Amino acid sequence: MESCRALVLSLCVLSVSLALAAGRDVPVKRYVVNLDAAPEEHFLPMCQDPDILELIPMLKKDAKDMITSLVPEEVLPLVDILTADLDQYLPQPFAGEMRGIANCTGIDLGEIVILNLAYDLTAFCTSIVAQDAKGTIWHGRNLDYGFGDFLRNITVMLDFQTKGQTLYTSTSYLGYVGALTGQRPNKFTITVDERDQGAWWMNALEALLNKKASLVSFLVRETLAEADTYDVAIQRLAYTPLIAPVYFIVGGANVAEGAVITRDRESALDIWTMNPAQGRWFVLETNYDHWEEPPADDNRRMPTMKAMNTTGQAGINASSMFQVSSTRPQFGHVVLSVPHVLNKGTTYTAIMSAAQPQVYNTWVRWPEGQASAQSP
């Protein structure tokens, strides 16, 4: 599986309309999740969307292909135990939501459970949190997976609402109940990057069955729902036991609120924070510990840092934070590009700012010459 490449900042805006004309960047559909309804009904409106209904046969087939490719055969009996008594092992609303998705899509519940585990632990990506010259915090991320063509077609944005008000928003995939990218308006933003520590399936499932740890994406959703400040979010993400190591990248709504949390399963190994007063106005994370040298075959860190420093703090804003590209600029625009930014595994790009929550948007990234199954 290709690891995702660096998120790159542009000096000038390449308009979204030009990108759409090229058939590469497609804003995703947005749905409301009514948290006041029963968990089994949370994703029902999305499942009933005619566009989604058309994709369900493909989803069923590709889900089986993903499971065959990603899941070791020896862990399947543990998945069967988990699925047989889902409420015992998984908290609400997640257990009910998985059952509801299985019911409305016709996909086997065990497969829904496996897909949620696979999405949770196989995400390759780059995340950047930066503070502009006026003190506004911006958060951008690219997310890559294998099976990119399948996942691009089922990428969605979800507004989780209670009493008609949006409590938090996430970018997700149909069938996935966790969150790897999300925003609590006017409070904080979170992205998750994989921290590869070798074989993990057996240890992860055993921890889950023993109720000793949380799924990464469940913790993110719970934090988005329950933490009411940036500091509370940091503490919760740093010290809640998890089923696998991970990086949490967090942006706040106030000056200097930005951090990369390097996690093992028990707690944080390191919390690396922004410090604009000392010149550290951005933090970035690929899929490697920031204090270690990245491997020679995947050194995305230094080119990205160079691109950020060339752009400069004064050049960071909602527009310049968007463009991620490995191609040459068009129409005279100057783009700071890192090789292989947009690759065959890139499923989406998301841009957020907790202080300006209306900015949050997600674009599906189709490789050159390809188009969405839903495109005209």
Residues 6+ apart with CB under 8 A from 19: 25, 363
User: If you search the block for the tokens 């703090």, which residue do you land on?
Assistant: 313
Residue of 4, 47, 104, 125 marked active site: 125
The CA distance from 321 to 291, in Å, is 25
**145-184 per-residue burial string, b: 16 or more CB within 10 A, e: under 16:** bbbbbbbbbbbbbbbbbeeeebbbbbbbbbbbbbbbbbbb
d(CA 248, CA 204): 18
Q: Which residues of 125-141 are buried (b: 16+ CB within 10 A; e: fewer)?
A: bbbbbbbbeeebbbbbb
Indicate the SS3 state at residue 164.
coil
d(Cα 296, Cα 353) in Å, to the nearest integer? 33
Report cis status (omega within 30 of 0) of the bond before 294: no
DSSP strand pairing (165-173 vs 246-252): unpaired
Structure tokens that stand for 258 in this block: 């930005």
Where does the chain show beta strands of DSSP type E?
25-27, 29-34, 124-131, 137-144, 155-162, 165-173, 181-184, 188-194, 246-252, 258-263, 268-273, 282-285, 346-352, 361-365
Nearest Cα residue to 204 out of 115, 289, 118: 118
Whether residue 4 lies in the annotated active site: no
Neighbours of 285 (CB within 10 A): 27
Q: Which two tokens stand for residue 337?
A: 């590009």
Note the maximum CA span of the chain.
59
Cα 171 from chain centroid?
Answer: 6
Catalytic positions are 125
